[in-house]
Every structure is written in C-alpha cells, then in structure tokens.
Chain A
Amino acid sequence: MKHKSFKAILVASTVFGSAGLSYAQDATLTIESWRNDDLSIWQDKIIPAFEAKHPNIKLKFTPSAPAEYNAVLNSKLEAGSAGDLITCRPFDASLSLFEANHLAPLTDLEGMNNFSDVAKSAWITDDGSTPFCVPMASVIHGFIYNVEAFEDAGVEVPETEAEFFAALDAIKEKGNYIPLAMGTNDQWEAATMGYNNVGPNYWKGEEGRNALIKGEQKLTDEPWIAPFRQLAKWKDYLGDGFEAQTYPDSQNLFTLGRAAVYPAGSWEISGFNTNAQFKMGAFNPPVPNEGDTCYISDHTDIGIGMNANTKHPEAAKAFLNWVGSEEFASLYANSLPGFFPLSKTAVKMEDPLAQEFISWREKCEPTIRSTYQILSRGTPNLENETWNASVSVIKGAETPEEAGKRLQDGLASWYDPQK
C-alpha cells in the first residue's frame, strides 16, 4: 500500500513536472524590430531585467535592417511567421497592420494608462478609440556641435537663424572644420534632419501641421517654403562632394572631428558618445527672429505591439505592461540615451547630451514630423517626395518655390482636403 502510493506520487510528479516545464518553455516571445544597433542593449540589459521578474517567459530579440524592416515584417505577417511582439513604426505603417488584423487592439491594457494622448497619437485609430502599440520612445531633432570647433572659430551657440549662418561663416573662414556634416546621397537626412528639423520654427509646430492636414494651409505657403530657403543656403557649408556623401560618411566626418556642426536626431547620442573624442554640445533649431517661440520636432518614433496571432497573448501582454512601467522607461532611456521615454512619469537621465536635448521640451513647443500623420497615405508619397525635394533644393537643382509647388501638386492629387 505504502509502496503503491509512493509510485503514484512519482508518476504524478513526473507528469506535472514535465507539464510545468513545457509551459515554461512554451512562453518564448520573439520580438521583431528594426533597431539592430540596440541588439546588445536588449540582450544584456532589457531582457535580463524582464526575465528576472517573469522567470517563465523567455524573450528573443530578432532585429532586421532598418531599411528593409517594413517589407520584411509585412511578408512575415502575411506568411504567419512573424514574432509575437512587433516593434511599431509610427502612424500609417502600423495602422495598416492593425487594420489588416495583424496587430492586436490594446484598449484594456493597464500599462497604457501611463501615457498621454500625444504619446499615444502615433499608434491609435483615426477616431482615437483603439490604441494598438505601447509607445516606447521619441526622438528629438536639433544640432550637435563640436565644442572645440566653436572655440577654434570663436563662435557662440547660435539662437537665431542669422547667428547660425554667421557661426557657419566664421567656421568656414577659419577653414579648420567642415561647417556642416551632411550629405545628400542617402536622401533621407536632407528631409529628416534638414526640412523637418528646422521647419517647425516656421510653420509653428502643431499649429501649421494640423492646418496642413485640414487643408487650411498649403505647401506653397510661406511657412512651408521658408525651411527650403534655409536648406538652399546650406549648400555652401557642406563638405566637398556632399552629393555622394552617405549617412555613415557624415557620422564619421563629425566623430573624427573634421566637421563642426551635425544636423542631428537624438538617436545619434549613444553612437557619438562612443566614437567622438572631443566635447560635444547641442542646440535646438535656431529661430528666425530673436524672441520667437522655438519649436522642436519631438517625434514619436518607436512603439511595440502584439501580433494578433501570437500563441502566447498573456505572456505578450505581461511584457507590454512592463514596457509601460517606470522601470522600463528608466532602463531604456539610460541604456539608449537619445531615445526619450514617452510615459507621464519623469525619468532621470545621466547623459549630458541627452539632458540638453530633453531640456528643450520645457522651453520649446514640441511637434512631430509634418509628413508622418495621414499625409503620406497616398501616391505620390509625401514623405518620400520630401526627401527628394529637400535634396534637390540643397543641390540647387530646384528652387524652394518649385519644390513647394511640386509637393503641393503631388499631395493635392490624392488628398481631398488639399484639392
């Protein structure tokens, strides 16, 4: 009798033990992302921190190349082989995934309460009712400069457009540094770090952006042409052969100490901190006239959502809730200085450059990139056209007015409020 019950216990423990084991093994979540630069940070910091709290959930971070991410992800989702957690591009790319039932709605996710409406705006249905990705981070645009280069030319940090060009002139005259590190080969920098960096000061941030969406302003109006006028002036300050200068070329020119000012996004901070041997500073886009309110592009850039067909919805939700927590915000912001958390609670940042960038949130009005919401839904695609137009204007192949007219004609050809 005793013997029998002992056997029963043995059998039971084997069965239940293995059941428990298989449950733990089952909840392995794969994360799709385009941030292959962050692989080591996810593996060394973020994933261990999460797994320590949820020992029965394992995470796998499987990034792909940024330029291919959307295409790769779409094919994987169609084929049903995509990961459980999906890093979300802002606005339409993710909205279309949600509408195709690839992303699960997150309306009743607790962690969502930690975010403001502005933070959620990039990953929510047009009527604002159903969010589908948890906001992770935003990036802020501005200029990073080489402090030694500024001292060398004897210039101060510019606050107005006039001071900005005076500083560039002084650096050019001195001749020790290339004034501006930017190329037009890869095209997107001209639009993202050029047009959408300096632009908000002219179109007054959200005010102009919303007016454009409503059709009250046109891309041929002065506030939308003025940034092109400034870009046209940049040409003289770029390095020799900027036409074939790629994005990595520009990064290297700056971090090797050969260029003075780098039109930047805050995501550059961690890379620059490792590579640059000199002291760096940052300034927000100079305003047109002294005393004007400054505007910055504080762009909601990364979110994370749940694959609607995941086999482990509970585990995925546990992770998404954790992404909404203060612990994640602090961990992420400090591991990746330059990606600023969007949650309501303030996070303390260690990095001085990151602190400088985030301090602009207090003195300037934030907005997002003008072309991202709604306006890039049709063909021709306004964002891609803006890349092309910004490059043409910098090269002098097109006047600011012609570029504005071309963009407006393209937008009006499919977007009803602009017709």
Chain B
Amino acid sequence: MIVGRTFRAARFTPFNKLEKLMQKPISKPPIRWHIPVFLAPAFLIYTAVMVIPLLGTIQLSLFSDIDGEQVFVGLANFKTLLGDQHWSQQFWNALLNNTWFFVIHMLVQNPIGILLAALLSSNKLRMKAFYRTSIFIPTILSFVIVGFAWKLILSPIWGVAPSMLDVIGLKSLFTPWLGKEEYALTTLALISVWQFVGIPMMLIYAAMLSIPDEILEAAECDGVTGISQFWKIKLPLILPSIGIISILTFVGNFNAFDLIYSVQGALAGPNFGTDVLGTFMFRTFFGFQLQLGDPNMGSAIASIMFIIILIGVSIYLFGIQTRLRRYQF
C-alpha cells in the first residue's frame, strides 16, 4: 500500500521533486504480525503431531540396527523390502489386497452412498431423519465393536447368518466367509462398506441440498424430470463432492488397519489373505509373537504407504480436481 502511494504521489510531482523523493529511502512496510500469530497455533500443533513424526519415520527408515547401533544405510531397507523374495512377496500381497479393498469401496460404498443420498433428497420420502440417522450410526461405532459384532454374526457356530439363510432356504450358500482365503478380504471390505456408507451419503446429501430449487424447476420446465434429472442436472453438480469422497476413500483404505486387526489379528489370516500394508507394517514394526519388532523396516513400509498415498492424492489434485467444472449459482 505504502509503495503504491509513493508512486502515485511521484506521478504528479515535478521532476526535481521526484529526484528528491528518489533519494529518500522508501519506508519499509511494517511486518504484519497478526498473520504469523494467527497461523502459529495450527502450524505448531500440526508440526508437532504430524510433520515431525512423519520426518522421524522417514529418517528411521534410512537407518538399520547393526549390533545394537543405529547405522545409516541409505535406501537399503527399501531395497530389501522390494528386492528380497520373502519381504517383497508380503509387500506386493499387502499392496494388492489394499487395492482390492479400495476397489470394493469405490464400486460398492460410493454408488450406494450416492443412491441413498438421492433417495433421501427426494421430496416424497417420509421419515428422512430416521433413515439418515440409522444409516449414519455405524460410522460412529468403534472398529472393535463392528469387527466383533460381524465376527459373531458370520460365525458358523453361533452366528445368526447361517440360521437366517436357512429360514429363506439358502443355507447352501453359507460358507465360513471370514475363514476362506478367497472370500475373507471381500467380506471385510463389505463390512467396512456397511460401517462407512453413511459418510458419502451425508456429503452427497449436503451437496444435493445445496442445489438451488430454481435450477431444478427450470429443468422441469424444460421437461427434464425423474431419473434423467438426476443424471443430467444433479450428478454434474455433485461431481466435486464425489471427487472429494473418492480421495477420502483412497486415503482411508490405504491406511486401513483397525478393522482387519480387530477381526483377523495381526497375522491377517487366512494365509495372509487379508493382509494390508497397515497390518504388515504393524507386524514388522512392533513384532508379533516370536517375531521381534524391527522399527527400521516398519518405518520403511510406513514411508512407502505415505508415498503411495501422496502419489494418489497428487494425481487427484493436479490431474482431476483442476479439470472438474464448478458451477456457481
């Protein structure tokens, strides 16, 4: 501001005066203290609980314990993780499982979430608050409760699933899903979908509510109603929210750990069929049963998880979000 004012003043002063002005040092703008002061709390807390631990993890992953001493080994841990037959086999298995976990969420959770939101925002539906609340409740339950409840429901011995299937004559369809390598991961992913479907539902619902009635009325005037109104008017308007949900799902799924740990334990059975990067990292970092913890290798896995998520988020931010068309009402 100050600089601008001097220039403006200079424009209208005669030449000799201008020269004098140029010789005078231009007064420095005062430091705007309020900016750092107001940023400080968030910055300090974020640095203390996120940035420093993250840098610490990355640092730890570059060291190795050799005869009780921490020795800098560069990228050797990552080389072992990706190059050694036993490590890499577990790593790729976990990454693949993570990807499948994510795919199920994208294919099942988010479409169902959108569908529920569309139903909820329909004017004809009664008892909206009841549906909204009951669908959202599992989201606030603890993983341990959800995991344990579903483990009991699906238990071949005490569970209600086999007897319920029996009632409708489909007992033959029942298998101990959580114990079979080919079904366990999908079952867990669906449990997680059941738990979290409320989140996309709520976000999309909010986005749909923010669509002004005039637009919908104008669409109706143009003869766009019902399903085609959803596809042609509402969906384009909620695309940015769907993008945000996708990225939240991606980050959440590649950080997944709790549900799998509470249902299948740290060994993520059967035969590592449900092992994701989170459980693999936990086992490696803290050790399990006779396996001793190796914080350095564990940090290497954690760093790779960070990099994978960073790449995914970057692709979204720079590749997709910038191209999304936004409408202003």
Binding site for B on A (CB under 8 A): 67, 70-71, 74-75, 91-93, 96, 99-100, 183-188, 239-246, 249, 252-253, 371-372, 376-377, 379-384, 387-388, 391-392, 395, 397, 410, 413
Q: Are A249 and B271 in contact (CB under 8 A)?
A: no
A387 and B179 within 8 A (CB): no
A-B contact pairs, 24 of them (CB 8 A): A67-B265, A67-B288, A70-B292, A70-B293, A75-B286, A96-B292, A184-B179, A184-B269, A185-B178, A186-B265, A241-B175, A241-B176, A243-B179, A244-B155, A244-B177, A249-B155, A249-B158, A371-B290, A372-B290, A376-B291, A381-B291, A383-B291, A397-B181, A413-B85
Give every chain A residue within 8 A of B291 (Cβ-Cβ).
376, 379, 381, 383-384
How many chain B residues touch the partner (CB < 8 A)?
A: 34
Interface of B is mostly: loop
> B269 and A187: CB pair below 8 A?
yes
Q: How far is the CB of A262 from chain B (nearest CB, A)?
A: 14
Partner of B86 from A74, A245, A410 at Cβ < 8 Å: A410
Q: Which 10 A-B pairs have the closest CB atoms?
A: A241-B156, A243-B179, A244-B179, A244-B176, A71-B286, A241-B176, A381-B291, A383-B290, A376-B290, A243-B176
> Are A413's CB and B86's CB within 8 A?
yes
> B: which residues have CB within 8 A of A?
68, 85-87, 151, 154-158, 175-181, 264-267, 269-272, 286-294
Assess the A99–B68 pair: CB atoms within 8 A: yes
B180, B291, B293, most chain A CB atoms within 10 A: B291
In the complex, what's the smallest C-beta–C-beta distance from A22 to chain B, in angstroms?
Answer: 37
Residues of A close to B180: CB separation below 8 A: 243-244
CA distance A383 to B267 in the complex (A): 12
A299 vs chain B, min Cβ distance (A): 13
A186 to B287, CA, bound (A): 17
Cβ of A395: which chain B residues have Cβ within 8 Å of it? Answer: 270
CA distance A93 to B294 in the complex (A): 12
A147–B156 Cα distance when bound, in Å, is 26
Q: Is the CB of B265 within 8 A of A239?
A: no
Chain A residues, Cβ within 8 Å of B177: 244
CB distance from B255 to the nearest CB of A (A): 19
- Asked if residues A253 and B289 are in contact (CB atoms below 8 Å), the reply is no
CB distance from B219 to the nearest CB of A (A): 50
Assess the B287–A71 pair: CB atoms within 8 A: yes
Contact of A245 among B175, B176, B271, B287 (CB under 8 A): B176
Q: Are A380 and B86 in contact (CB under 8 A)?
A: yes
